[in-house]
Amino acid sequence: MESHEPVVSAVWLHANLKNPDIKVLDASWYMPQEQRNAFQEYQVAHIPGAIFFDIDQISDPTSNLPHMLPSDEAFAASVSALDIQNKDAVIVYDGKGQFSAARVWWMFRVFGHNKVWVLDGGLPQWCKSGYEVESTLSQVAISRATSVGEAIKNIYRGQLVGPASFKTKFQPHLVWTLDQIKQNMSDQTHQHIDARSKSRFDGVAPEPREGIKSGHMHGSKCVPFTEMLDGSQMLLPEDELREKFVQEGISLDRPIIVSCGTGVTACIVNMGLHRIGKPDVPVYDGSWTEWATQPDATIITLAAD
The catalytic residues are 260
**Is the CB of residue 289 less than 8 Å from the CB of residue 212?**
yes
- The burial class, CB within 10 Å (0-12 / 13-18 / 19+), for 162 is exposed
Among candidates 277, 283, 103, 68, which has minimal Cα distance to 193?
283
Say which residues have a Cβ less than 8 Å from residue 140's Cβ, sequence separation at least 6. Answer: none
Interior CA angle at 96 toward 259 and 13, to 5°?
100
- Report the amino acid identity of residue 179: D
Distance CA 152, CA 159 (A): 10
Q: Which phi and psi angles does 46 have, rounded to 5°?
A: -150, 165
Say which residues have a Cβ less than 8 Å from residue 75's Cβ, sequence separation at least 6. Answer: 58, 69, 107, 111, 168
Distance CA 228, CA 270 (A): 10
- Report the amino acid identity of residue 235: L
**What letter does residue 163 receive in the DSSP assignment?**
P
Residue 191: in which H helix or E strand, if any?
strand 191-194
